[in-house]
Structure 1
Amino acid sequence: MHEVLILLAVVALFAVAFIIISMLSDRITSKMSFRNIFRRRANTLLVIAGSMIGTALIVGSLAMNDSFERFIYSQIRQNLGEIDQVVVTSAESERGYRALFSLDELQPLIELLETENLTDGIMPILAREVTAGKEGNARSLDRSLSTSAAIIGVEFEKLREFGSEGISFTEFNSSNAQDLPGAIITRELSETLQIGVGDTLEILIDEAERVLFWIQLPRVVVTGIADHEDLLGYSGLRQGMENSRIFMTPEDARRVMKVGMPDSYNELLISNRGDYLSGANLTDRVVSLFGETGLEEEFRMVPIKQQQVRMATQGNVGLLFFALSAFAIFAGILLLSNIYFMLAEERRTELGTLRALGYTRKRVARAILYEGFFYSIIASAVGIGVGILITRQILGGFVDLTAGISMLLPVDNAAMMFSAFERTFVFFIKPESVFLGFFLGLLIPLAIVSFSGKRISMMNIVCAVRGIPEELGKKPRRQLRLFMYLLLGLAAILCYSGAVRQSGAVLLSGLTMGLLLFPLSFPFKRRRLIESFCSIAVIFLIMFSNQIPFIAEQSAESIPLMIVKGFAILFSGLLLVVYNLKTFDSVFSLIMRNGNNRSPAAKVAIAFSSRNRLRTGLTVAMYAVVVYIITLISIIPYSQEKMLDKSRNDVFIGFDATVFPVGMQSRLPSETELLAIGGIDDVAVLESAFLNIRLPSGRISTIPAYILDEGFSENTVHRNITLWEGIPDLAQARQNPWEYLITRNNAIIVSGALLSDLLPGDYVELILPARTDFSAIQAVFSGREEVSDDDISLGYFRVIGQIPETTFSFFNGVFIPKGVIDSDLLAGSYVDSTMLLKTSNELSLSDTRTEVANISRRTNSLAFFVDDVIDLINATVKGIIDILRSFLYFGMVVGIVGIAIVMFKALYERKRLVGMMKAIGFTRRMVFTSFLLETSFIVILGLVLGFITGTLTTYEMFSSPAFQGFELSMPWNQFLFMGLTFYIISVLSTLVPSYIASRLSPAEALRYFE
C-alpha cells in the first residue's frame, strides 16, 4: 500500500513539474488564470476549503500511522534495546521456566556467528521471575513490602560491550560488609519497596516456600540503583516486560536461585550489527545460520525483535483511518467535480470569447487547468496544517481514553501504568509523509480540473459566447453509448466469472453494474422509470443475496464481498434519488397547490434543485457518502453495547463478581471472610484446567474446562442455553440444566464461542494432557492441536447444551461436573482457581465493592464486578468509536462547503432571475426563503439518503452468518442529534448568499451581466 502511495505521489510530482513548465511557456494564460482566483475572494476561500479536505485526511492518516509506529518503536527500544534474537532450550523445566544449558552447548552457533561477522554482541543470561521484598518481608502479600521482579544474572563486562553502543549503567561493586551477593536494582523497584543503596533485599524463588517459614530465604545487598533507560530493558523471554529488575553476576544469580550447575544459563541474547532497528534486517540470515548448526532439536531461536518491528511497520492504524477517510475523500472528489464543473460553466462565455479571438482548444483547457492548479497548491499547503491539527486532536482523544479506562480499572497502579503510555504516545510525522500528503492531495484536484478543462475546451464557440445551452453532439453521443456497451460487456463477464468460480463479490459486482447501466445504455422513452426500477432491484438483490448458499457462506469472512454489498446499496440509492428529482418537484407541486404565500418560494426552490440535476446530485452524494459510513460505525457498536447489557447475567456465568489471583505473590481470599461481608450472599470456587477434546469429526482441540461443584445453584448460572431435545425434562424446562449436569458424570455443556460446530446431542471424548508445563495454554492461543500417547482419556460425554456463540462471557470452554476428573490426576495439571461472588441487598453495591476490594488488596488478588466489566468495555468501545467518528465528522465539511459553494454560485447565476422574481412581486422574505428552502431540500435529502442506505447495509450485515444471533439496535437519539447538527450548520453556511440575494435591487439585478 505504501509503495502505491509513493508511486502516485511521484506521478503528481511530475504533473506539477509539467504544469509549471507549461505556465512558463504561456505566461499570458497563466497570468490571466492567476488573477481569476481573486475575482471573488469568498468563493476562492470556499474552493480552497473544499479542495484541502483530501490533503488533510491523507496527511492525518499518515501522521496517525507515523505516531503509532513511533510509539511501538519506542517500546521496542525501551524493552529490547539491541536484542534481536533469543536462544532458549526447546524443553521447559518445572513451572514453565526454560531449562538450563551450558554455554559450551551453543559454542558451534557462537563461532559461526562470529565467523560470518553478523553480530555485535552475544551475551548469556540467567533470568527468572521472583518475589522480592524488604528483609524479612518477601513472604508478605502486602504490595508495599514485596513485589514481583525479575532476576537477571549477567556478566557486566559483556553488558557494557553489548550492541553497537553498549549499555551504560552505575559501576557495579559486589563487595559489601555483610558478605552477601550484590545487586543493582531498577528505580521502579526501589520506589515500590522504598529501599536504597546498602539495604538488604530478600528473594522468594519458589512460591511453595512462602509457607515454609523455617527455610531461610536468600538475601542480596543493593549496591546500586539505575533508571530503566540506563540498564538492559529486557526481563527474560518468560517474564515479558517487567520493569522491576535485579541485576547481579551469573555466579550470584545461581547462588540465589540455588542452581548447582556451574556455567549454566537459560537464555542467550544476540545483537545483530546495526542499531536497535536496522539489526532486525539480518535476523533471517542469523536464523538460517542457526538451522545449519544442527541445534534445532535441543534449542530454538526466537526472532523477538523482528516480530515486533513487523507489527510496527504493517501500518494497520494508518490503513484504518485511510479506509475511513476514503469515504470523505470520495465525497471530496464529488465536491471538486462540482466546483470545477461550475467553474468551467461560469468561465464558459469568457473562454468562448478567447476561442473567437484565436485561442486554441489546448490553451483554453490550460486556462482552466492553471486556475485549478493555483487553487490546489494553496489548498494542499493548508491541508497539511489542518491534517496535523486533526491528528493532534485524535491522539489527544486516545490519551484521554486511556486515562478514562485507567479510572475504571480496579487496580491500584493503573493510573501509573497509563501515565507511561501518555508520556510515550506523542504526535510524530515523518517528512516523507508530509511530502506524500502534499502531492497526493494535489493529484485528485489536478485530475478533475484537467478533465473539466478538456471538457469545456470542446464547446461550440457561438453557443458559448451567446450563453446558449449546448446539447451533446451525435459523435460524443455514439462514443458514450459505445463506452456503456463496453461496461455492460464487462458486467456480463463478471457475472459469468462470479457464477463459475462461485465468488460472491465478483457476481454481485457484475449484477449491480449491469442493472444500473442497462437503462443508461439504450434510448428508452421511460428511462427514469426503468432506472428507478433497476436501482430498487439492486437493493433487493443485495438484501436477499444471502439466500444464495455460496454468498451466505462467504459473507462471514469475505471483506471484498461486504464492500461490494455496501457500495451497491449506496450507489443504487444515489441513482434512485437523482433520477427522481423531478418526481419530488411534481409531488411537492401537488401538495403546495392550495398552500399559503410561501408556496411560490418553495416551488422555486424545489424547481431549481430538480432542474440542475447534476449539481444537486453531486451535492446530495457528498452528504450521503459521509453520513453513510458514520451510520455504519454508529449502529454496529451500539447494537453490541445493547447486547452486552442484555448479557449482564452471562459475563460471570450468573454471578455478580469474580476474584482471581495475579502473579506469584497472590492468593485467593477465604470464603469465610468474603461471606462475612453483609453484601455477599454466595461464594463459589471455579477451578479450570486445559483439556483436549476430540470432536465428532475427529479433530482435536485444546480448550479450557471449568469444573463445577454443588455450589453452582440454579440462581447463579446461565439460563440462555440451547438444550438437547433428547432429554424431555431439559427440553420442557422441568429441570435446571446445571443441576442436571452437576449430578451426572457423562454430560457436559459447551460454549459456542469456542466450539460453534459442536451441537447439543453430540458425543465427544475428553482427554487430560500429561503435560505439566504451560504449553497447554499456548496451544489454545496458537491453535495447535495435538495429543500425546501419555495423555489420559476421561471418557465420552454427551453435550446436553450449548451456550450461544453471541453470549459475552469471561468463561468460555467446556463445563464439566467435579467428579469427572480424579483429584489425584488433576493435581498434576496446571489448575487455576477463581472465586465467584453473588451479591445481596443487605449492603449497598458501593459498600460491598469497597469491602471486597479491601480483602482482595490484602491478598494481592484482583476483584471485578460485572458492572465494572460492562462499563469498561462500553467505555473503551464508545471511546474508540467517538474518535473514529470525530475523524469522519471532519469529512462533513465537504458537504457543508459544497452546499455553500452551490448557493454562492446560484446567487451569481440567478441575479437576473432574482431581479425578475422581485419585479413580478416576490418580496425579500420570499427570495430569502427560497434560497433557504433549496438548501434544506438538498441537505435533508442527502442526510436521509445516507441514514437509510447505511441502515440498510447494517441490516444486511446483521442478517449474514457473520452476525448470526446479534440483534440490530438503532441509536435514534444519536442520529437525530447528528442530523440536526449537520442541518443547522449547513443552513448557517448559506445565510450569507441567501441574505445577499434577498437584498438585491430589481433594477441592479436585471442589468447584471458578467
Structure 2
Amino acid sequence: MSRALGLRRSHLVQLLLFEGCSYGILAALLGVLSGVGVTSLELALFTLLPRLGVGVAANSVPVPVLESGALHLWISWQSLLTSWCLGVLATVLTVLIVAFWISRANIVAAMRDLDDVVVARPALAKLWRMLWSPGSTPDDASVPETPERRLARVLEALLGLLWGAFVRGPLCLLMGLFLFVLVDTSASGWGRLLVDTFLLTGGALLVGWLLSSMRHTSAPLARRLSFSLIGVGWLTLGTLQGNAFIGLFQPVVAFNGTPSGMDLLLSMLLPIGGAVVLGMTNLDLLAVLFSGGLRRVRGFAPISRTGVAYPLASRLRTGITVALLSLIMFLVLLLVTTNLGAIQEAEAATGSGGFQLQATTYGSQIMRYPTLATQLQNLQAGRALRQDFTAVGLIRLMYDFPQVGQVQSLRLNLDGGQLIYPQNKPSQVADDVFLTSTNLPLYARASGFHSDQQVWDALRTHNDFVLLQYDPHIVGLPAASGFTPFTAEIPDSAAPSAHFHQATVIGLMPANAPWRVLLSINTARRIAQPPYIAFLSTYLFRLQPGANEARAAQDLNGFLDASSRGITVQSLDQGSSNQVTGVLTLLLGSDLALGLLFGALAISVITSRAVVERRQQIGMLRALGFTRSLVWRSFLLEACFVIATGLLIGATLALFLAYQIARATYQDFPCHWGSLVDFAERIPGCICLYCLARAPGCTPVSS
C-alpha cells in the first residue's frame, strides 16, 4: 500500500531502517544492562566458593587476590559503548538487508498477499551477453539506456556470473586454490581447514553441475548428490582435522600452542554445518520415516503429511532453525556428557603422579646462587623439611635445545613400518625416587606387564626401556594394553647431526601427561652424557600424611628463597580448582540452557508467523473437514519435527565428540545414559510429543 500511494523504494528502505534502528537501540541497551547484571550475579556466586588460595603456593597466584577472597566487577565505559554499538550495528545491517529485499516486492502481489513469483535464474550465456550488450526488442532493435541503467545492467550481469560460477563449482575451486597458494599447507590450523573446505565444496558443486548436464541424470538427483557430498565432506573435515576442542582438554598434545578462536569456530561450525546440510538435503527421506510412523498412531493419520509439508517446502527457513537448535544442543550436551570435573581430576593425577608441589629451576640459577645446589641436594636426601615432605623426585631434560626451532623427532619401529614421533622439547630423565614413588596411571602397557607399577619398576631397573606419551594424532600408535613392545630411536642432541639410539617402549602415558618421552637415569646415561643439571629441572614434592599444603609451600619458598631467586613453585593439587570447575560448568550449562530457551522462543515466533502467512491453507484444511484440534496438532507436529531434527543432529555430534575427548584423555566414557534420557525428556520438543500422544486429554488452543 505504501508503494501504491507513491512512496519510492528508497523511502520504504528509510522507513524500515528507522524502525529497525529504534528497536536496535532499545534492544542493545537492554542487552548491555542484562549482561552487566548477569555478570554481577556470577561474580557474587564465585565469592561463595572456598578461597582460591587454599593449597596453592604463594608465588603461583597473586597475593592480593588470595587475601581479598572476592571478585569485583570492573566496568569501563569504552567496553559498554563498544558492546552497545556492535549490537546496534548488527541489528541495522540485518534490517537494511531485509528492507532492500522488501522494497523490491511486487506491488500487486504484496497488496493481495500473494506468494512471490519464482523467477528462474538466467543462463550463464545470457548473463555473458548482458555484460557486453543491452537487450533488444523482438524486431532486433537495440534498446536505448541511460548510463545509470547501463551500470546497473553490468553489475547485475557480473554478480550473476560470479554467483553462477560459484554455485557450479569453478569459482569455489579457484578460491580454494588461491588460498592454497597463500596459506602454509604444512601447518595444521584453521587456514588449512579453510582451504580443504573450499576445495571440497567446489569439487562437490562441480560434480553436481556435470551430472545435471548429462542427459540421463535429473537435476534434483544431481543436486541431492552434490549437497550430500558437501555435508559428508564437512562432517569428515570437522571431525578428523578440527581437533581444537580436544586440544582444549589436552593442552600438552597441542604442540602448536593453544587453539585460536578461528580453530575453535571452524571445528565447531564445520561438523554442525555439514550435518545440517546433509540433513536438509535428505529431509524428505526423514519426513517419510517420520510420517510413516505417525500413520500407525490413531489421531495422527490425517496430519501425518501436512505436519511435514511446510518444512519440506521452506528448507532455507527450516535449515536456519535446525542449525540454531543443533548448535545450542551440541554445546549443552557436550557439557553434560563431558564431565569436566572428572577430566580435571584425571589431569591432576597424570600431572602430579602422587606429588603435590612442584619447583622449577634452571642451570643459570644454579650457577648464580652457589648454595642452591646444596639446598636442593638436602631436600632430595631428606635432610631438610622432613616435617613437610616424604619424597622429592627430580625430572630433567636430557640435553639442551635452542629456544627457537624444533628438536629432533623420534622414530618408532612398529610392525606396520616406521612412524615419526614429533617432540617440542627433548626427552626427560626421571630419577629413581620419582620412579619408585609415582602412581601415575598409564594409558597402555606392553604385553607381559600386568600392572602399572611393574612398568615403572622395569623402567627404573633396566637401561633400555622408555615411556612415550600417547598421541591420538599419530595413526598406528597402540591404543590399548597388551601391545607388542617396539623400539624407538632417540636422538642424543637437538642438532641435525644427532646420533639415534634404540630403546624399547614398554608403556604409553596418557595424552595429557606433562612428559612427552620419559627415561630413567640408567637409560639416559647410555644415550647422552650426564650431568643434566645445566638444563631445566623439575622437583616434585610429596607431602607428609596430614601435612598442610599451604604451610609446606611457605616453608619451601622460605627455604629456597624462591621469590628473590626467581624459582617457580606451584601446586599440583586440583582440589579447589575442581570446585571452581564445577561452578563454571554449572554457569556455562545455565547460559546454554538459556540459549535453548531462546531457541524455543524463536521456534514459537517462526510458528506464529507461519500461521499468519498460511491463513489460506488453514481455511482450505477447515473446508476439507479438518477440525480445530487437527489444525492445532498439525502445526504442533510441524514444530516437533523441526525441533527433533535439530536436537538429533546436535546430540549425535556432541556424543561423538565427547567420546573422542574421553577416549583420548582417560579411555573411559563417563556418559550416564539415565541422566541423558531424563535431560531429553525435559526438552520442549519431547514434551510436545508426549502431550500429542495423549491428545484426547489435551485442551486444544482455539485459533
- TM class by shorter-chain length? 0.5 to 0.7
Which of 48, 67, 87 is residue 441 of structure 1 equivalent to? 87
Whether 1:600 aligns to 2:302 is yes
- Contact kept in structure 1, 2:173 and 2:198, CA below 8 Å: yes
Whether 1:491 aligns to 2:169 is no
Report which of the two has the higher share of strand.
1
TM-fit CA distance, 1:733: 9.9
Which of 96, 111, 118 is residue 465 of structure 1 equivalent to? 111
> Residue type of the partner of 2:24?
S
State the alpha-carbon separation in 1 of the partners of residues 452 and 100 from structure 2: 79
State the alpha-carbon separation in 2 of the partners of residues 373 and 582 from structure 1: 39
- Contact kept in structure 2, 1:365 and 1:457, CA below 8 Å: yes
Whether 1:712 aligns to 2:436 is yes
> Residue type of the partner of 1:762?
E
Deviations 1:743-791 (A, max 9, x none): 45x446455499x99995435559xxxxxxxxxxxxxxxxxx89xxxxx
- Contact kept in structure 2, 1:748 and 1:799, CA below 8 Å: yes
State the alpha-carbon separation in 2 of the partners of residues 568 and 481 from structure 1: 27
Change (3 A) 1:547 1:933: closer
- Contact kept in structure 1, 2:200 and 2:230, CA below 8 Å: yes
- Contact kept in structure 2, 1:750 and 1:815, CA below 8 Å: no
Taking every aligned residue pair, what percent have the same amino acid on both sides?
Answer: 18
State the alpha-carbon separation in 2 of the partners of residues 598 and 649 from structure 1: 55
TM-fit CA distance, 1:827: 10
- Secondary structure in structure 2 of the residue aligned to 1:356: coil
State the alpha-carbon separation in 2 of the partners of residues 957 and 700 from structure 1: 22
| 2:489 match | 762
Which of 391, 407, 429 is residue 39 of structure 2 equivalent to? 391
> Residue type of the partner of 1:490?
L
* Between 428-437 and 667-676, the greater mean CA deviation after superposition: 667-676
Change (3 A) 1:630 1:601: same
Deviations 1:930-950 (A, max 9, x none): 333232222222222223345
- Secondary structure in structure 2 of the residue aligned to 1:762: strand
> Residue type of the partner of 2:11?
R
- Contact kept in structure 1, 2:628 and 2:702, CA below 8 Å: yes
State the alpha-carbon separation in 2 of the partners of residues 372 and 511 from structure 1: 38
| 2:647 match | 943
> Residue type of the partner of 1:426?
H
Whether 1:815 aligns to 2:520 is yes
| 2:634 match | 930
TM-fit CA distance, 1:458: 1.9
Whether 1:628 aligns to 2:330 is yes
- Secondary structure in structure 1 of the residue aligned to 2:195: helix
Q: What is the correspondence of 1:371-410 to structure 2 with a 5 Å cutoff?
A: 371-396=19-44, 398-400=46-48, 403=50, 405-406=52-53
Equivalent residues, number: 578
Which of 467, 471, 482 is residue 161 of structure 2 equivalent to? 482
TM-fit CA distance, 1:909: 3.6
> Residue type of the partner of 1:491?
C
- Contact kept in structure 2, 1:555 and 1:561, CA below 8 Å: no
TM-fit CA distance, 1:550: 14
- Secondary structure in structure 1 of the residue aligned to 2:393: strand
State the alpha-carbon separation in 2 of the partners of residues 517 and 802 from structure 1: 49
Change (3 A) 1:852 1:722: same
| 1:225 match | none
- Contact kept in structure 2, 1:687 and 1:831, CA below 8 Å: yes
Deviations 1:256-296 (A, max 9, x none): xxxxxxxxxxxxxxxxxxxxxxxxxxxxxxxxxxxxxxxxx
TM (norm. structure 2) is: 0.63
Deviations 1:12-31 (A, max 9, x none): xxxxxxxxxxxxxxxxxxxx
- Secondary structure in structure 2 of the residue aligned to 1:377: helix
Change (3 A) 1:532 1:565: farther
Deviations 1:421-477 (A, max 9, x none): 544x42222222222222221222222222222222222222222233222335678
State the alpha-carbon separation in 2 of the partners of residues 876 and 831 from structure 1: 30
Whether 1:590 aligns to 2:292 is yes
State the alpha-carbon separation in 2 of the partners of residues 805 and 734 from structure 1: 10
| 1:356 match | 4
> Residue type of the partner of 2:521?
I
Deviations 1:28-56 (A, max 9, x none): xxxxxxxxxxxxxxxxxxxxxxxxxxxxx
Deviations 1:74-125 (A, max 9, x none): xxxxxxxxxxxxxxxxxxxxxxxxxxxxxxxxxxxxxxxxxxxxxxxxxxxx
Deviations 1:709-761 (A, max 9, x none): 69928x967665666xxxxx9799999454444445x446455499x999954
> Residue type of the partner of 2:228?
I
- Secondary structure in structure 2 of the residue aligned to 1:470: coil
Change (3 A) 1:610 1:798: closer
TM (norm. structure 1) is: 0.46
> Residue type of the partner of 1:804?
L
- Secondary structure in structure 1 of the residue aligned to 2:116: coil
Change (3 A) 1:827 1:975: closer
State the alpha-carbon separation in 2 of the partners of residues 700 and 601 from structure 1: 62
| 1:451 match | 97
Which of 883, 897, 913 is residue 601 of structure 2 equivalent to? 897
TM-fit CA distance, 1:708: 0.3
TM-fit CA distance, 1:530: 3.5
- Secondary structure in structure 2 of the residue aligned to 1:939: helix
State the alpha-carbon separation in 1 of the partners of residues 69 and 83 from structure 2: 27
Change (3 A) 1:998 1:517: farther
| 1:615 match | 317
- Secondary structure in structure 2 of the residue aligned to 1:354: coil
TM-fit CA distance, 1:797: 7.6
- Contact kept in structure 1, 2:16 and 2:99, CA below 8 Å: yes
Deviations 1:472-506 (A, max 9, x none): 33567876863432323331113434566663334
TM-fit CA distance, 1:508: 1.5
- Contact kept in structure 2, 1:688 and 1:706, CA below 8 Å: yes
> Residue type of the partner of 2:607?
M
TM-fit CA distance, 1:623: 1.4
Asked which structure has the greater CA Rg, the reply is 1
Change (3 A) 1:551 1:687: closer
| 2:229 match | 537
| 2:564 match | none
State the alpha-carbon separation in 1 of the partners of residues 666 and 531 from structure 2: 38
Deviations 1:518-552 (A, max 9, x none): 58879788555434433432344355559999999
| 1:304 match | none
TM-fit CA distance, 1:634: 6.0
| 2:193 match | 505
State the alpha-carbon separation in 2 of the partners of residues 829 and 555 from structure 1: 23
Q: What is the correspondence of 1:510-521 to structure 2 with a 5 Å cutoff?
A: 510-514=198-202, 517=205
Change (3 A) 1:908 1:922: same
| 1:692 match | 399
- Contact kept in structure 2, 1:497 and 1:506, CA below 8 Å: no
State the alpha-carbon separation in 2 of the partners of residues 886 and 365 from structure 1: 39
- Secondary structure in structure 1 of the residue aligned to 2:521: strand
Which of 264, 273, 278 is residue 571 of structure 1 equivalent to? 273
TM-fit CA distance, 1:980: 4.5
- Contact kept in structure 1, 2:468 and 2:507, CA below 8 Å: yes
Deviations 1:198-233 (A, max 9, x none): xxxxxxxxxxxxxxxxxxxxxxxxxxxxxxxxxxxx
> Residue type of the partner of 1:469?
D
C-alpha RMSD over aligned residues: 5.8
State the alpha-carbon separation in 2 of the partners of residues 711 and 474 from structure 1: 74
Change (3 A) 1:546 1:964: farther
State the alpha-carbon separation in 1 of the partners of residues 394 and 534 from structure 2: 14
Which of 662, 665, 684 is residue 983 of structure 1 equivalent to? 684
Gapped runs of 5+ residues in structure 1?
Answer: 1-352, 724-728, 767-784, 787-794, 838-847, 1001-1010
TM-fit CA distance, 1:897: 2.5
TM-fit CA distance, 1:895: 1.6
